Amino acid sequence: MRARTDKALASVLDLRGELRGGNFDQVQDWTGRLYAELDYTDLAGWQRWFDYPLEIRSGEGGVRLWLGFSGKRLTEATADVALAKLSARLADGLPLLDLEYLEGRLGGRQTTSGIDIFGRQLGLKTSAGDAFPPADFGLHIARERAGGELKASALELAPLAQLVKFLPFAQDVRSQLAQMDPRGRVNDLRLTWAGAADRPERYSVRGRFVNLGAQAWRGIPAFSGLSGQIDGNEKGGNLSLAATNATVELPGIMAEDKIQFDTLAAKIGWLRVKDGVEFKFSNVSIANRDLAGTLSGTYQPLSKSPGMIDLTGRFARLKGTSAYRVIPGLPRPVSDYLKSSVRSGNARDISLRLKGDLGRFPFADSKQGSFKVAGKVSGVDFDYADGWPGLKGLQGELVFEGRMMRINASGTSASGARIASARAIIADLYNEDEVLKVEGNADGPTAVFLRFVDSSPVTGYIDGFTSGMRAAGNARLQLKLELPIRRLEQAKVAGSISLTDNSVVLDPDVPPFTQVKGRIDFTEKGVGGRELASQFLGGPTNLSVETLADGTVSVQANGTANVAAIRQLVEFPLLDHASGSSPWKGNMAIKRGTFDLLAESSLQGVALNLPPPLAKAAGDVLPMRLVRTNSAQQASVLGLGIKRLPLHGDALMLSIGQAVNGVIVRAREGNRMVIERGALALNERTPALDKPGFVVVGSLRSLDIDRWRPIVGARNGTGAAAPPVPLDAVNLRIGVLDFFGRRVNELNLRAIRSEGLWKARVGARELAGDVTWRPEGQGRIVARLSHLSIPDSERAATAEQTEPAKASRELPALDVVADDFVIGTTRLGKLELVAVNQAHDWRIERLKLSTKEGTLSADGYWQNWAARPSTGLNVKLEVSDTGKYLERLGYPGTVSGGIAHLNGKIGWAGSPLDIDYPSLTGTLSLKVEKGRFLKADPGAAKLLGLLSLQSLLSFDLRDLFRDGFVFDTISGGAQISRGVLSTRDFDMRGAAARVAMTGNIDLAGETQDLRLRVVPSLGDSAATAATLLLKINPITGLGAMLAQRIFKDPLGQLFAFEYTVTGNWSDPKVERAQVEAVEPQDTSR
């Protein structure tokens, strides 16, 4: 039959049927089959005529329907559907099932044994997006006795599990399936059960599965990605697994809940036994990024325990950084510790043994069970505690046994130290107060062990005692640590470094200790060491180290120092003049970053071949004290006059007897220490060091610079040593100062440096006034003095020492004015000196000595750069009173009156301050007018006495020269060569005579070799005689007078005398020489 109805309700209805009944009045008793086909229908619209067995809210599409009935009871139904927008409630109390589509065949029938439900290529998709791909299944639900059977060719479990809540299953079944949340695909499934579905009395299951997964349920851990097959029943069965990228979750058992397997293969059998179910594992093979190995054994869950296990495993490899993942039941702090401490490495040949009641794991003793994992490890980096140098490249054995973890290392390193053996143990991994004990010993370079200590918390325990140490040699390190994992700040340490024939530098500023032997112990409370033997400063030295109650690390030392050995270590010029050895003692204290050093010696046994105030014999006591500190507070306590120190800086104080006290403050610049400020005090306390720079203060009875210069400059060949830091102020009082062979008495010097200039006030017997020093270039000295006295040299025998140091070749410019200039005892009047540096020479632009009797002017040079320094001067002397000028020069009573003019050019080897007569060379020109020679004293004045002709009185010239020699003029020139003055034209004329002199005068040897010709002036006497003759005999008298005038005193020539003068100046030898024939002189002259 074909029929049409409302188009909104359905398309053309094709209805067919086969009905059986007795009469039409009892249709309810009929039986038969119906077939209906609608290409389109609205299922909800038919509810006005049909009473559906379920609630249908909506649904449209094509339907083919086969129905079987008996009376009012529907006995079977089969439907091919292609529906969309289907919304239905399959049973009271269930939620609405909303489907985007439902396609395929679905049917069911009632039989005498129960209900059969089947599906053929049935597929659907919910409005939530869950899709159930087309599948075939059959479900039989027994009627009289609870039970059933499920068959499926392929089932996707995830969408099916989502449909369960819409299906008319028992609530327990729906809840359990929701808890399990199954995933994956099941193929060829056959499941039968007898009894309630949630608690069947009997069951059997067979099938294959792919990527099977589920949440944890009834002791079965969560898993995913499992593939394999199952065949079992309530008595037992077998499970085969062959999976890739599978996971198993074991929360609370492993450190990480989820375990990932790259591959997993296993044969698992189970058998119901009296106390439950026993699982047997065989051929279990697992591999992932962390490990690879095999397992076998048995496991039986228990009602009051996780179960009994007997498991054996062998692993070819285990990644060290994943060890924490594979040990079951570790407390979180322990697993976190292993995770962070094992940084690298691998294990191999690993064995696993786990047996016992897991409820008692980890087993307290062997009666409860056994657990052991052991393997060989290599390349393991183990950072056993934060702040400690880790063990690198560890090789050995790793063992987890019972509650204990143990590492036995046969070869590893820490901070570069090669450790021969090491052992790390956690005795109880599960007691909530786990303690790691580490023991190790190593032999190797001491420097490496010091690095180990410095890079560990030990350096804090011993207050950085070893941080500045350097060592060469070998040592043995022994170390024991107790490290509470949950409270590492309470770590306990016991260790030692045993030294054998080492060289140790405690501080960069302290020479090394050599041949060091002994042991240094350290704990978390400090450091200690007794009877450490060594060699230091050339003598035996004993050391001891201890940590005091206040935390200070104290190093005590005592020994004997040898000057010869110190000289090899320290480049200090004074040591070249010291000899012997002396006992000493010292102490070094370190506390919270502060460093204090004290060293003392009596210097008894040491001879100092030095000038005062440091001269001493070997048997004398001269206390020496050296202090170093980097604490301003300690510096204040020591009275060093220091209120602050630079960051990372220090202060040093050295005292030698009462005479020398020095303090410096140093600052660190990069890798070196530089002096920032300091003071040297002589015979008094050092001043406060509150400003940068260096000051020298104090007083000395005497200071011999001439003796000190070759000492302090000996190492570099100079006469002076450059100060380590520029001076800023000087305040000195010196009773007697000797320098350059001269002496200054009662010197008082005050000088300061300001704005780049030195300004000084000088007072002494020998000089007084103001001096300014400009350091630009070679420098310039400006001096304005009220008096300046240069003492006579007291070291003529060591003239070379009185020369300025040859290293001072760049001399400063000078601008000096001294109102009263004295050399020795000779007052030379006012001094004006201007000199500058020109090229390599020290150019004397002006040298002027002014007195009321005369003025000496000079200019020239000083070539101090030459191998043999020399001085050259152009001199000019203008004298208005020669007698008084000579008296000023120290020759009184030699000349009266006289106007003198002296010009010349002279030079000598040495400085301008001292004429070196043996090298004196030059020329001189002299002219003197209108004076008189007086009787002279011995010495140089005796030579002048020759000119007064006083020595000639014994040669019958008494009447001519009795009252000295009055001269009208003196003139002449001289050549000087190597200290010998030669003259050939000396001429002195007076009313009484005319004197000519030739020869040589040795200015250095104070000798002479001269020849004098004295011609008496008889002109007036002859005229008188001629007058008398004229009166007696006019012709004769007139002839004599004319001859005297015409021939220029021929009578004087007739009576001329010649003498030789030899010998020394103090006792000249004068002898009369044979007079040569007198030639008539040219009257025109």
Confidence class for position 719, pLDDT limits 50, 70, 90: very low
Between 571 and 917, whose confidence is greater? 917
Residue 612 parent element (H or E):
none
Instruction: Tell me: pLDDT of 419 over 60.
Output: yes
Q: What is the pLDDT of residue 91?
A: 81
Whether residue 945 is predicted with pLDDT greater than 70 in this model: the reply is no
How many whole angstroms separate alpha carbon 371 and alpha carbon 358? 10
pLDDT surpassing 70 at residue 730: yes
Q: What CA–CA distance (Å, rounded) separates 953 from 852?
A: 35
Task: Pick the more confident residue, 557 or 637.
Answer: 557
3-state secondary structure 774-833: ECCCCCEEEEEEEEEEECCCCCHHHHHHHCCCCCCCCCCEEEEEEEEEEECCEEEEEEEE
| pLDDT, tens only, 765-814 | 989 999 998 887 778 899 999 999 887 655 443 344 444 444 345 568 89
pLDDT of residue 4: 77
Q: Nearest-CA neighbor of 152 among 182, 176, 187, 117?
A: 187
Q: Which amino acid is at 343?
A: R
Cβ neighbours around 297 below 10 Å, total: 18
Top-confidence residue, 890 or 1062: 1062
Amino acid identity for residue 704 in this structure = D
| pLDDT over 60 (residue 952) | no
DSSP state letters, 222-281: PEEEEEEEEEEETTEEEEEEEEEEEEEE-TTTSSSSEEEEEEEEEEEEEEEETTEEEEEE
Write out pLDDT tens, residues 217-226: 876 788 999 9
Residue 180: pLDDT band with limits 50, 70, 90: confident
433-482 pLDDT tens trace? 889 998 988 888 888 888 888 888 888 777 777 777 889 999 888 989 99
Residues in the chain: 1085
Is 392 in contact with 413 (CB distance < 8 Å)?
Answer: yes
Asked if omega into 159 is within 30° of 0 (cis), the reply is: no
Q: What is the pLDDT of residue 620?
A: 93
Residue 371, both tokens: 């657990």
The pLDDT score that the predictor gives to residue 924 is 94
* Nearest Cα residue to 257 out of 223, 207, 303, 210: 223
Q: Is the predicted pLDDT of residue 430 greater than 70, yes or no?
A: yes
Q: Is the pLDDT of residue 712 over 90?
A: no
Instruction: Between 938 and 387, name the one with better pLDDT.
Output: 387
Check if the beta carbon of residue 405 is closer than 8 Å to that of residue 427: no
* pTM for this prediction: 0.60
Indicate the average pLDDT of the chain: 83
28 vs 103, more confident: 103
Report the pLDDT value the prediction gives residue 802, as an integer from 0 to 100.
Answer: 41
Distance of alpha carbon 293 from alpha carbon 306, whole angstroms: 24
Question: Sign (positive/negative) of CA torsion 10, 16, 17, 22?
Answer: positive
Tens of pLDDT, residue by residue over 1048-1073, are 444 445 557 888 999 888 788 888 88
Reported as a single tens digit per residue, the pLDDT across 980-1014 is 999 999 999 988 888 899 999 998 888 999 998 98
Give residue 958's pLDDT: 46
Q: In the predicted model, is pLDDT for residue 37 greater than 50?
A: yes
The pLDDT of residue 805: 41
Whether a cis peptide bond, with omega within 30° of 0, leads into 912 is: no
DSSP reduced 3-state for 180: helix
- Amino acid 1040: pLDDT: 39
Over range 118-134, report the average pLDDT. 89
Q: What are phi and psi of 991, to 5 degrees?
A: -65, -30
d(CA 821, CA 767): 9
Taking residues 88-96, report their average pLDDT. Answer: 86
| Local confidence band at 103 (pLDDT 50, 70, 90 cut-offs) | very high
Kindly indicate the confidence band of residue 515, based on its pLDDT and cuts at 50, 70 and 90.
very high
